[in-house]
């Protein structure tokens, strides 16, 4: 099924067309980074308006340049900014309805998870073996998932900031442009990290969940203590480069700490990483090293597909359609943030939330 993918969950308007084997026939992205940069982060209303301008133009180009007319529309329906998502979802619904073709609503995180199986050099998408152990680390999410033949289970997640958000917030204090992850990556490559600068958090429960907010505060404190605030990439000097190397190492270490246990427990065939943070040089290097020592294949998305894109949404939609999923364009809605999950995960997440609520209540913190 030739599939049109549409992604508007945050600050990139992205459109792609995949043929029935998941070959990318067309992919185009209009980034709003420059528009939001003066604000130091994404302004939701501005994002929606920019999507509204760009989306029809991109789809027009997609229709002209793809190998043929799409037979399926896949669109990100959450999580994300509600207004931004609505632009994509309503457009996709009208497109599907007007052309009498199928439509599938896609979870943005499912999209990231299939990105390692796509080929940017014109090849078909690789069929994912199971089980897959997958890290999704982006500006809004940080979690490990296990995808088996039947369903996807979340093994752990961040309790507060996402890894990408942590990079962005620390980078902002240092005076790096938004999004800050690539700048921290560049500085860290030129620095010498010290293992002792940042401690790893310890959660007082059985989960292997992450917590990045303490690390974020500690990094910001260090930036200020060393007089590096607002200096920017050119002026932070070796002290800034070294600090960013330590900070980046602490983020990566935390993301990879549960990996050996997860491998032992779930015996994955492949380990993947996806989301914007999967572009990080140290994370990619450490994952490759972990894969070699654990004896498991590591599959990383091409750099061009780590951050938000529509090819991954089209592919996730294609796979969902193959499993029988179809959404009614007249009833499409958007669910922002945590509430949108693949059907197989809903019960697990409800149980987790109930347990967390109970544990917070018993600590008197809620």
Task: Give residues in contact with ligand KG4 (CB under 6 A).
Answer: 10, 138-140, 164-165, 167-168, 179-182, 185, 275-277, 279-280, 307-308
Q: Is 107 in the site for Zn ion (CB under 5 A)?
A: no
- What's the token pair of residue 108? 């943005």
C-alpha to C-alpha distance for 188 and 185, rounded to whole angstroms: 5
> Closest approach of Cβ 97 to ligand KG4, in Å?
28
Length of the chain (residues) = 366
Segment near Zn ion (CB under 5 A); pick from 30-38, 86-94, 260-268, 300-308: 300-308
> Closest approach of Cβ 40 to ligand KG4, in Å?
12
- What's the token pair of residue 31? 């980034």
Q: Is 272 in the site for Zn ion (CB under 5 A)?
A: no
Residue with tokens 């994952």: 287
**What does 70 bind: Zn ion, ligand KG4, none (CB cut-off 5 to 8 Å by kind)?**
none
Radius of gyration of the chain (CA): 20
| Spatial contact of 232 and 171, defined as CB atoms under 8 Å apart | no
Peptide bond into 340 cis (omega under 30): no
> Closest approach of Cβ 295 to ligand KG4, in Å?
27
Letters for 129-148 (x = contact with Zn ion by CB under 5 A, - = none) are ---------x----------
Q: What is the DSSP letter of 37?
A: G
> Closest approach of Cβ 138 to Zn ion, in Å?
4
The DSSP bridge pattern shows strands 24-31 and 132-137 to be unpaired
Q: Which is nearer to Zn ion, 254 or 274 (CB)?
A: 274
Letters for 145-184 (x = contact with Zn ion by CB under 5 A, - = none) are ----------------------------------------
C-alpha to C-alpha distance for 180 and 174, rounded to whole angstroms: 9
Q: Is 309 in the site for Zn ion (CB under 5 A)?
A: no
Listed in order, strand segments (DSSP E) in 166-262 are: none
Q: Which is nearer to ligand KG4, 50 or 165 (CB)?
A: 165
C-alpha to C-alpha distance for 326 and 74, rounded to whole angstroms: 10
In the sheet that 24-31 helps form, which strands lie side by side, from edge to edge? 24-31, 12-18, 3-7, 72-78, 102-107
C-alpha to C-alpha distance for 165 and 141, rounded to whole angstroms: 9
Q: Which is nearer to ligand KG4, 101 or 174 (CB)?
A: 174
**What does 161 bind: ligand KG4, Zn ion, none (CB cut-off 5 to 8 Å by kind)?**
none
**What does 166 bind: ligand KG4, Zn ion, none (CB cut-off 5 to 8 Å by kind)?**
none
The correct pick among 50, 107, 165, 308 for binding Zn ion (CB under 5 A) is: 308
Residues of this chain that bind Zn ion (CB under 5 A): 138, 308
């Amino acid at each position: 099924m030739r599939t049109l993918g549409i992604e508007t969950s945050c600050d990139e308007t992205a459109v792609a067309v995949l043929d029935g084997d998941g070959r990318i026939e067309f992919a185009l992205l209009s980034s709003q980074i420059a528009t939001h940069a003066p604000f130091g982060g994404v302004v939701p209303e501005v994002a929606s308006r920019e999507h509204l301008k760009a989306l029809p133009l991109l789809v027009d180009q997609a229709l002209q340049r793809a190998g043929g007319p799409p037979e399926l529309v896949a669109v990100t329906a959450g999580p994300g900014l509600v207004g931004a998502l609505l632009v994509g979802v309503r457009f996709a619904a009208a497109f599907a309805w007007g052309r009498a073709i199928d439509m599938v609503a896609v979870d943005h995180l499912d999209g990231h998870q299939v990105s390692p199986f796509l080929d940017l050099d014109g090849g078909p998408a690789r069929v994912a073996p199971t089980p897959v152990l997958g890290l999704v680390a982006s500006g809004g999410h940080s979690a490990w998932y296990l995808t088996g033949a039947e369903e996807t289970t979340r093994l752990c997640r961040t309790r507060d900031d996402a890894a990408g958000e942590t990079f962005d917030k620390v980078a902002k204090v240092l005076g790096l442009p938004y999004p800050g992850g690539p700048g921290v990556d560049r500085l860290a490559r030129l620095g010498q990290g010290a293992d002792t600068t940042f401690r790893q958090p310890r959660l007082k429960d059985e989960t292997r969940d992450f917590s990045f907010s303490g690390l974020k505060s500690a990094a910001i404190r260090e930036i200020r203590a060393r007089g590096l605030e607002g200096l920017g990439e050119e002026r932070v000097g070796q002290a800034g480069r070294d600090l960013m190397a330590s900070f980046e190492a602490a983020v990566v270490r935390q993301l990879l700490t549960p990996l050996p246990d997860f491998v032992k427990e779930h015996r994955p065939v492949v380990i993947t990483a996806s989301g914007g943070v999967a572009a990080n040089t140290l994370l990619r290097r450490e994952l490759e090293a972990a894969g070699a020592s654990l004896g498991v294949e590591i599959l990383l998305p091409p750099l061009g597909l780590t951050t938000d894109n529509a090819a991954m949404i089209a592919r996730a939609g294609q796979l969902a359609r193959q499993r029988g999923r179809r959404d009614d364009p007249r009833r499409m809605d958007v669910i922002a943030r945590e509430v949108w999950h693949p059907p197989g995960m809903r019960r697990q997440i409800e149980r987790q939330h109930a347990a967390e609520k109970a544990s917070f209540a018993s600590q008197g913190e809620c």
